[in-house]
Amino acid sequence: MILTAPEIDPGAFAEHTGWEIKPEGACKADRCVPLPGAPEEGPVPAALLAEPLGMALVHDAPRALWALGPESGGRALLSAQMPELELPDRHGRPFSLGSLRGTRVVMVAWASW
């Protein structure tokens, strides 16, 4: 997740990572991780999320950018629930993967390269 400041809007964080910030901590699937020192509302310092969740926080100082990697310390999948995701088609029209709920799907990643 690309950041232009070392803090994160909880809504954007939830949308990007699936981790929701609640009073008990950051929660995803059936897991909640306490976030000591996190503010009750408003932006959360990225460093407060990075360590408890095992998310690498990489700072590119010359460009004033930060990137927060995915959670680590376990497997790539924290649960078998397919994450919510919206991606564009080749004409830029957004398509929500959730719109296929009710149908079985085989999703295949490929590339032009």
What is the binding site for other proteins (CB under 8 A)? 1-2, 54-58, 60, 62-63, 65, 67-83, 85, 87-92, 95, 97-98, 100-113
Q: How far is the CB of 76 from other proteins (least distance, A)?
A: 3
Secondary structure of residue 103 in the 3-state scheme: coil
Q: How far is the CB of 90 from other proteins (least distance, A)?
A: 4
When the beta carbons of 11 and 39 are compared against other proteins, the nearer one is 11
Q: How far is the CB of 37 from other proteins (least distance, A)?
A: 21
Q: Identify the helix (H) or strand (E) that includes residue 10.
A: helix 10-17
Per this entry, what is the length of the chain?
113
For residue 15, CA distances in Å to 8, 23, 84 come to: 12, 18, 8
Residue 76 carries which side chain, given as an amino acid letter? Answer: A
Q: How far is the CB of 89 from other proteins (least distance, A)?
A: 6
Secondary structure of residue 16 in the 3-state scheme: helix
Whether the CB-CB separation of 79 and 28 falls below 8 Å is answered with yes
